[in-house]
Amino acid sequence: MQRASSRSGGKRIVKRLEPLGEKLRRRLSGRRAFVFLDFDGTLAPIVSMPHRARANERVMRAITALAALPRARVAVMSGRPLSFVRQRFLARGLFHVGNHGLEMRGPGVTFRHKGAAVIRPTFQALAEKAKATLAGFPGVLIENKGLTMSVHFRRLPPSFRRRFNRSLAAFRLGTAALPIRWRRGKKVWEALPRVDWNKGRALTELLRRTGPAVPVAVGDDVTDEDMFKAVGRKGVSIRIGKSGSSRAMDYLPRQKDVPRFLTLLTEVLK
């Protein structure tokens, strides 16, 4: 008989969803859930061209069904611009969160971080300089997202990697005087405003604005750790893929397991 789960660094790796379903039923019995879902690597597979990322039909149907439940609120959380998230997820009642929580919109909520909005011109100039500085590296994509900027290098040929790392390190060092900070993700470096805000703060703010609910956070990358930290033991946190250093309490092995999890969560909350 297949084991339901195993351990990695003290965390539960869910191989079958039945035990996780039992945990959700205990935690959510008679209560409302606010479900926070990362986009890239969670709702959609990571692709080499970021603008081509899409959630498949199973995921879209599952999100629509979940968001329609009286006991559920659902937010799609992304490092992408708010406009990108809103265009791809049209289900009624959804909360859309862009730029790692710096901008949010949903029922009764309209938010843009004032400190980040003030330095928007900085990212325009930074993106232009990055394009000029890194123009010689094939496959590198500079994405100006208004309130943040990303340097994607997933398509960079391995033979360029060492020289690219040196050039990008020098470029980042040259931005030290700007009101920004850098953070690395999966095959991407991101420039963010130097403000005390992240996905975890956005999660907490949405809970504050919308009333009591048990937070359920699902993500796969470094920026999602802020969500897991904010959830703590108050709710449920799930990481896609193993990482012994993650703050998430449970793992799903693959992004392909997400539709099944969303369907399970819908059944629990009916």
pLDDT digits (tens, 9 = 90+) for 104-132: 999 999 999 999 999 999 999 999 999 99
pTM for the full predicted model = 0.91
Q: Considering the chain, what percentage of its residues have pLDDT values greater than 90? A: 84
266 vs 11, which has greater pLDDT?
266
Give residue-wise pLDDT tens across range 40-84.
999 999 888 888 889 999 999 999 999 999 999 999 999 999 999
CATH topology of domain 118-193: Alpha-Beta Plaits (3.30.70)
Q: Do 10-113+197-269 and 118-193 come out as alike in CATH topology?
A: no
Q: Point out the catalytic residue in the list 38, 40, 224, 250.
A: 38
- Residue ranges of domains in the chain: 10-113+197-269, 118-193
Cβ atoms of residues 218 and 228 within 8 Å: no
Q: Please indicate whether residue 38 is annotated as part of the active site.
A: yes
**Which top CATH class is 10-113+197-269?**
alpha beta
